[in-house]
């Protein structure tokens, strides 16, 4: 691979489109192109143009401060350019550049608005693509391929870390270094992604555990609810249909009693009508008997009123008992714990009692506490519920009054019977009818008492039914309708209500759980599993990337070691050739070497001095990839000219530094030749004798590399095959004049 053409337009002083053509290689060597011209004519701008098109980003190396400084800024006779463009054409017939083109043209274009673009054979590409392509072809803009003006001794005065980049190009490991750098960036990004995913997992995991517990509780709740629903269906089904049967029986008996009372009342009315008829027939009604009969009716009315009041009071007492049973609730857990604790404490206290009487009293107290607790934990029967004392007192008073009225009624009856016996009148029919009437009234009274009892039972059952409906609707919801609509095929053999209470209590302990918890749990679990899988994939990616880095490190170390040793030998050879003796050596510097030289003044050491070393710090990504950092961080140069004992490079003179740098560059080009090399006045500090030696070295190295040299020295010009002269007119624009030395030798003329 070699240069074929360089085209410049709007770059620095080359305002007009300017082309430089390079001769093709000869069988024994590559042609040398020399660029000459007076100071300030723009010769070095050609080297800057080549460095710029190869991707140089440092404005300092391009001798500028802003990116627009590389664009022609105008002159008195010429306006400023709107853009700068440089195209470098390369012959790639040997395939040194891994691309399917025999002719490769790299173009870089920059506009005044700051936008720029890179082109490869007129196709837009990235800078990284061009850098990798050039590195694979052993060409680099920051290495010995382009040595700018004043940079000949830069290798010597630069730091070991800066020299390392130079030697990475020199040893041919730059392509591996680029791949390694990209792998490190990928590894760093993967670690960052891993840290982000692990952070998300740490945030999600507590919520997932909480949701899982709730989901498990919901599953348990489902099983408990299923058992509870089955028991509730059995329990309430039996309760409901037992009530329905009892209510139907009471209603039937009540209707029968009501019919009997109606029949008796019909008979009573007939008797009363007969009495009135008999009394009308009598000419002289017995006023004494009439008065007793009126008194008898008055006492009966009073008894009826008391009976109605007694009935209402009994009804209220029964309804109160039913409502109390319906509203019953078991003791709260905290109260149960308190009572059980008191019982346990009392049992423990029995050990300290020696007197039999005292022991008996304490046992009775404990038994009473246990019995009370047992009763309070069970649903009470209506008969066991104490009604309102006021109602009980009222009922007792009414019963007492009723007893007095009954006695009074009996006394009136005796009076009537005594009066009738005393009079012994002929009113036998009237007296007999009165007896039948009183007997009928007593029968009706008994039937009404019986009906009132049935009415109380009916009210009690209806109240229980209403309470049961409310309870069923509260606990069974929509299922209650089915239970009340269809009689169960079988009934439970034993009371299942305690088990229902136990299951309800377990549900209360579990608490209310939103059914959407399951959906949220599934979504959270899927996300957690996905992220967990991503963690596994990221760990695999990290291992894979680390393996790639290790393989690249092996390749870099193997090739670097082999080429570095060769460069060391060639460096010593050319050093002695230029200096006529002396010694020199290249030394690789590792991280361990720099840490020892720094006398331990590291950030960790500084933290230790301030007492902060003991603080726990999270492992950062930098520390994770620290082991993958290049162990070689720099290259040191040791050079001692003949007859001197110098160790520090800064003690060398300008000429000695130039010769040392030339010897080093020559050694590198001899071991790992670049397809082309641009040298910008590297021989400026050499005397005539050393210039001749330098020219001889160029002639030898041109067998493997194509040279473009910007020079003022005659000896260097004599080695060139083509001379390009750079001139600058009054417009401040650089112009080229090309001379083929073979044409001059054969009597030809220079061409513009």
Lowest mean pLDDT segment, chosen from 349-353, 545-549, 655-659, 671-675:
349-353
Q: What is the pLDDT of residues 422-440, one digit of tens each?
A: 555 545 666 677 677 777 7
Residue position matching structure tokens 């009237």: 430
pLDDT at position 55 over 90: no
| Nearest C-alpha neighbor of 154 from the set 642, 649, 671 | 649
pLDDT at position 617 over 60: no
Give the mean pLDDT of 231-259: 86
Structure tokens, 165: 């980049």
pLDDT at residue 143, rounded to an integer: 58
| Structure-model confidence comparison of residues 299 and 582, the more confident one | 582
Residue 85 · residue 50 · CB < 8 Å: no
Give the mean pLDDT of 152-161: 76
Q: Assign 618 a pLDDT band (cuts: 50, 70, 90).
A: very low
The conformational region for residue 380 under phi > 0 = left, psi -120 to 50 = alpha, else beta, is beta
Give the mean pLDDT of 470-477: 83
In angstroms, rounded to a whole number, what is the distance separating the alpha carbons of residues 521 and 646?
Answer: 76
Q: What is the pLDDT of residues 269-321, one digit of tens each?
A: 887 777 777 666 554 555 666 677 677 777 777 877 877 787 777 777 776 77
Q: Assign 743 a pLDDT band (cuts: 50, 70, 90).
A: low
16 three-state secondary structure: coil
Residue 717 · residue 36 · CB < 8 Å: yes
Lowest mean pLDDT segment, chosen from 215-219, 403-407, 722-726:
215-219
pLDDT at residue 89, rounded to an integer: 94
pLDDT at residue 5, rounded to an integer: 93
pTM: 0.50
Average per-residue pLDDT in the chain? Answer: 79
pLDDT at residue 514, rounded to an integer: 67
Q: What is the DSSP letter of 14?
A: B
Q: What is the pLDDT of residues 716-733, one digit of tens each?
A: 888 888 899 998 877 788
Q: How many residues does the chain have?
A: 752
In angstroms, rounded to a whole number, what is the distance separating the alpha carbons of residues 256 and 455?
Answer: 12
6 forms bridges with which residues in the sheet? 20, 88
Residue 732 · residue 13 · CB < 8 Å: yes
pLDDT at position 101 over 50: yes
In angstroms, rounded to a whole number, what is the distance separating the alpha carbons of residues 511 and 514?
Answer: 10
Residue 77 exposed, middle or buried by CB count within 10 Å (0-12, 13-18, 19+):
exposed
Q: What is the pLDDT of residues 511-551, one digit of tens each?
A: 666 667 778 888 888 888 888 888 889 889 888 888 888 88
pLDDT at position 238 over 80: yes
| Nearest C-alpha neighbor of 401 from the set 292, 503, 534, 307 | 307
């Amino acid at each position: 691979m070699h240069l074929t053409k360089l085209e410049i337009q709007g770059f620095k002083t080359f305002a007009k489109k300017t082309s430089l053509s390079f001769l093709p290689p000869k069988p024994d060597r590559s042609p040398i192109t020399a660029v000459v011209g007076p100071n300030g004519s723009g010769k070095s701008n050609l080297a800057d143009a080549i460095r710029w098109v190869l991707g140089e980003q440092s404005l300092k190396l391009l001798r500028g401060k802003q990116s627009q400084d590389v664009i022609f800024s105008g002159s008195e006779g010429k306006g400023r350019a709107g853009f700068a463009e440089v195209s470098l054409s390369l012959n790639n017939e040997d395939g040194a550049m891994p691309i399917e083109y025999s002719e490769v043209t790299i173009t870089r274009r920059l506009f005044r608005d700051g936008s720029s673009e890179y082109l490869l054979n007129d196709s837009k590409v990235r800078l990284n693509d061009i850098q990798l392509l050039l590195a694979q072809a052993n060409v680099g803009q920051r290495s010995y391929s382009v040595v700018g003006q004043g940079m000949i001794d830069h290798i010597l005065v630069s730091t070991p870390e800066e020299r390392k980049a130079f030697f990475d190009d020199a040893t041919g490991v730059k392509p591996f270094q680029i791949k390694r750098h990209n792998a490190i960036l990928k590894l760093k990004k993967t670690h960052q992604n891993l840290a982000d995913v692990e952070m998300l997992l740490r945030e999600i995991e507590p919520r997932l555990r909480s949701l899982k517990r709730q989901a498990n509780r919901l599953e348990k709740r489902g099983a408990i609810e299923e058992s509870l629903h089955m028991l509730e269906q059995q329990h309430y089904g039996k309760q409901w249909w037992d009530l329905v049967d009892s209510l139907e029986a009471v209603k039937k008996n009540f209707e029968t009693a009501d019919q009997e009372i109606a029949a008796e009342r019909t008979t009573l009315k007939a008797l009363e009508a007969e009495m009135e008829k008999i009394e009308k027939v009598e000419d002289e009604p017995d006023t004494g008997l009439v008065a007793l009969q009126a008194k008898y009716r008055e006492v009966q009315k009073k008894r009826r009123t008391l009976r109605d009041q007694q009935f209402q009071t009994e009804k209220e007492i029964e309804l109160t008992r039913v409502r109390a049973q319906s509203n019953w609730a078991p003791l709260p857990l905290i109260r149960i714990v308190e009572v059980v604790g008191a019982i346990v404490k009392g049992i423990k206290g029995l050990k300290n009692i020696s007197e039999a009487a005292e022991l008996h009293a304490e046992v009775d107290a404990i038994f009473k506490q246990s019995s009370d607790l047992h009763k309070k934990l069970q649903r009470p029967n209506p008969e066991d519920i104490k009604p309102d004392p006021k109602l009980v007192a009222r009922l007792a008073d009414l019963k007492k009054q009723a007893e007095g009225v009954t006695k009074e009624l009996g006394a009136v009856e005796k009076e009537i019977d005594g009066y009738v016996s005393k009079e012994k009148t002929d009113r036998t029919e009237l007296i007999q009818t009165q007896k039948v009437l009183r007997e009928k009234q007593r029968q009706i009274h008994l039937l009404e008492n019986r009906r009132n009892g049935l009415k109380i039972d009916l009210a009690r059952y209806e109240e229980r039914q209403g309470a049961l409906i409310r309870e069923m609707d509260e606990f069974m919801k929509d299922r209650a309708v089915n239970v009340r609509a269809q009689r169960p095929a079988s009934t439970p053999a034993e009371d299942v209500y305690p088990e229902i209470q136990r299951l309800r209590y377990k549900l209360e302990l579990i608490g209310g759980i939103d059914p959407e918890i399951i959906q949220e749990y599934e979504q959270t679990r899927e996300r957690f599993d996905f992220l967990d899988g991503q963690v596994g994939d990221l760990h695999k990616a990290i291992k894979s990337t680390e393996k790639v880095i290790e393989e690249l490190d092996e390749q870099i170390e193997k090739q670097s070691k082999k080429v570095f040793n060769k460069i060391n030998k060639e460096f010593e050879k050319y050093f002695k050739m230029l200096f006529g003796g002396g010694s020199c050596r290249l030394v690789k510097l590792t991280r361990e070497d720099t840490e020892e030289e720094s006398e331990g003044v590291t950030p960790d050491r500084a933290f230790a001095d301030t007492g902060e070393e003991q603080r726990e710090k999270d492992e950062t990504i930098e520390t994770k990839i620290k082991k993958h950092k290049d162990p070689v961080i720099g290259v040191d140069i040791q050079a001692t000219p003949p007859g001197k004992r110098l160790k520090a490079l800064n003690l060398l003179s300008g000429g000695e530094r130039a010769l040392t740098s030339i010897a080093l560059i020559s050694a590198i080009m001899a071991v790992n030749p670049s397809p082309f090399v641009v040298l910008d006045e590297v021989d400026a500090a050499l005397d005539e004798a050393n210039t001749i030696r330098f020219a001889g070295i160029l002639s030898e190295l041109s067998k493997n590399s194509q040279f473009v040299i910007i020079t003022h020295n005659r000896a260097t010009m004599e080695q060139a095959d083509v001379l390009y002269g750079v001139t600058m007119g009054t417009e401040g624009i650089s112009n080229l004049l090309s001379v083929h030395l073979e044409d001059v030798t054969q009597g030809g003329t220079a061409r513009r």
